[in-house]
Amino acid sequence: MSSTARPPEMTDGFHLIVDALRLNDLSTIYGLVGIPITDVARAAQARGMRFIGFRQEQAAGHAAAAAGFLTRRPGVCLTVSAPGFLNGLVALANATTNCFPMIQISGSSEREIVDLQQGDYEELDQLAAARPFAKAAFRVDRPEDIGAGVARAIRGAVSGRPGGVYLDLPAKVLGATIDAEVGRASLFKAVDPAPSQLATPESIDRALRLLAGAERPLIVLGKGAAYAQADEELRELVESTGIPFLPMSMAKGLLPDDHPQSAAAARSLVLKDADVVILVGARLNWLLAHGRAPRWSAECRFIQVDISPEEIDSNRPIAAPVVADVKAATRQLLAALRPGQITPRRAWLDAIDAKKTENVQRMQARLAADAAPMNFYGALRAIRDVLAEQDGTFVVNEGANTLDFGRDILPMHEPRKRLDCGTWGVMGVGMGYAIAAAVESGRSVVAVEGDSAFGFSGMELETICRYELPIVVVVFNNGGVYKGDEVNRFSSDPAPTALLRTSRYDKLIEAFGGAGYYAADPETVASSLREALASRKPALVDCVIDPTAGTESGHLTDLNPQSPLRPA
């Protein structure tokens, strides 16, 4: 008797990984195809996901990390094995350092050959290599475990302190077929992967008691506060207490930079003289001089709102730790706050205002002085003026001097619209961050790039043009790392900090069909940027800066030791 049963419908690892991501509402993959993951990208497109293909995995990884920061869902980066995996690892480590949720998924070679080091194609023990650089790392060894692997990766990336998670998928698992019904049943949606974490009432009381006794209080907002999307709560905390606030660079715009309580233009003064500081999603790391004298007062006492209990006391003893997520903790603080309980002294607010006025006037004078050839001030003034006409435009900013000046001169008015070098001060994030901002939001992006910084990911101009993204890259072309005027006195080779002075970065984007602009004065910078933004098409403005402008290491000269034998 012949059976009439139809053969079972089958699925495979390629489709299961895509189905697992989709089931968890992840809709975009940033990556670069090759052995063994090309069909993952194809399956993703076939199932309605977006695949954004890059020219190098590091930029794809940076894009995934930025997507995670902007959306609070892990950005996904897909890479091939060994070298592609390693290229992505820089971004995974950077995401973990910056507390951005992302998942790097890499294909890998045959376990039994890798483990015996028998020389497989792209042989590398990727799981072991990823572990020190990731918040968590997993390998899936059976197709029916893909669902669990994805759920664990998502939870790892977004719960508690967010970070980068590595997920290793051997080629054999991707190619393995199983019954489609069994496959479907193995997938599930992670429930509440980033649960709200409340502070204990005692920690809230302790913090408020400390604040109530403060004469010169200060709120420091970090990118953890930006990530928490507690914009309304934080505004209420600032405005109802009257406490001045200082935004870290990626927290700029949580409250607008021109808010009367912003102490950004009196940064040195508030660090030195504050007596009680509330850190909100900001670490007392090198970017805040580790909380130590002489930049801070030795008597200053700290309240720290952070989701990570281990962060507390990392640099300076914290008088009032509030371990919770920023949104929950801020709500709890507001609920417990009594009217009039916190009263910053008038003299403190006046001292800050006086310092702000002085510093703002000094900056205005520098911005107004029309130096020829153009310097950072002239170029950034032009960009600032054009951005003031825009709503919802993202600013990506990397470089040394270009970053330092850009942070101070380009004001932000909206939350999470500024993406920059972050905790490591890393270069090479620019194009990836810009692409993610455009893809995730559909809004325009202006990437303000040092010429050296741009070089790390410049080939992604082709990606920007291929996906027709509304990104304008402004390259601050001063012909060098830091500056372009160093001359090697020992041979005909260029000096270590020199780049080609005759470079025309605008020609690069023209090769891919984008619009190139060449601007040697502020008026041309402004008109080029205005036209490029209006077109919503890919563009690059080669912004020619005086090669003598800028300083070595930007504002970080104290971190850069100099040889006593260095030629004058």
Task: Give the residues lining the site for ligand ADP (CB under 6 A).
Answer: 98-99, 161-162, 222-224, 227-228, 248, 250-251, 281-283, 285, 287, 306-308, 311, 325-326, 423
Choose the contact partner of 451 out of Mg ion, ligand ADP, none; CB within 5 to 8 A by kind: Mg ion
Report the partner that residue 287 touches, choosing among ligand ADP, Mg ion, none (CB closer than 5 to 8 A by kind): ligand ADP
Q: How many residues bind Mg ion (CB under 5 A)?
A: 4
**Residue 450 interface partner, choices ligand ADP, Mg ion, none, CB cut-off 5-8 Å depending on type:** Mg ion
| Pairing label, strands 276-280, 394-398 | unpaired
Question: What are the percentages of helix, strand and coil residues in the chain, rounded to 5?
Answer: 45, 15, 40
Query: CB under 5 A: which stretch of 131-139, 234-242, 359-367, 471-479 binds Mg ion?
Result: 471-479
Q: How far apart are CA 187 and CA 19, in angstroms?
A: 8
Closer by beta carbon to ligand ADP, 216 or else 223: 223
| Closer residue to ligand ADP (CB): 147 or 164 | 164
Give the nearest residue (CB) to ligand ADP: 224
**Which H or E element spans position 102?**
strand 102-108
397 is a contact residue toward Mg ion (CB under 5 A):
no
Nearer to ligand ADP, 59 or 221 (CB): 221
Stretch that binds Mg ion, among 194-202, 332-340, 378-386, 470-478 (CB under 5 A): 470-478
Q: How many whole angstroms separate alpha carbon 470 and alpha carbon 125?
A: 39
In the window 434-453, what residues touch Mg ion (CB under 5 A)?
450-451
Whole-angstrom CA distances from 58 to 5, 18, 40, 188, 431 are: 49, 22, 19, 30, 10
Q: Which does 139 bind (CB under 5 to 8 A by kind): ligand ADP, Mg ion, none?
A: none
129 Rama class: left (phi>0) / alpha (psi -120 to 50) / beta: alpha
Closest CA to 217 of 348, 355, 353: 348
Under 8 Å between Cβ of 526 and 386 = yes
Smaller CB separation from ligand ADP, 176 or 198:
198
Name the minimum Å distance from CB 478 to Mg ion.
4
378 binds, among ligand ADP, Mg ion, none (CB under 5 to 8 A by kind): none
Query: What span, in angstroms and rounded, lies between the C-alpha atoms of 356 and 377?
Result: 19
| Shortest Cβ 419–ligand ADP spacing (Å) | 12
Query: Whole-number minimum distance, CB 98 to ligand ADP, in Å?
Result: 6
- Residue with smaller CB distance to Mg ion, 406 or 415: 406
Structure token digits, residue 38: 């090309």
250 binding partner (options Mg ion, ligand ADP, none; Cβ < 5 to 8 Å by kind):
ligand ADP
Site residues for Mg ion, window 475-494 (CB under 5 A)?
478, 480
190, 444, 455 from 156: Cα distances, Å: 11, 31, 33
Nearest 5°: the CA angle 137, 91, 529 is: 150
Distance CA 297, CA 559 (A): 22
* DSSP-derived secondary structure letter, 230: -
Please identify, using beta-carbon distances, which residue of 304 and 528 lies nearer to ligand ADP.
304
Interface ranges with Mg ion (CB under 5 A): 450-451, 478, 480
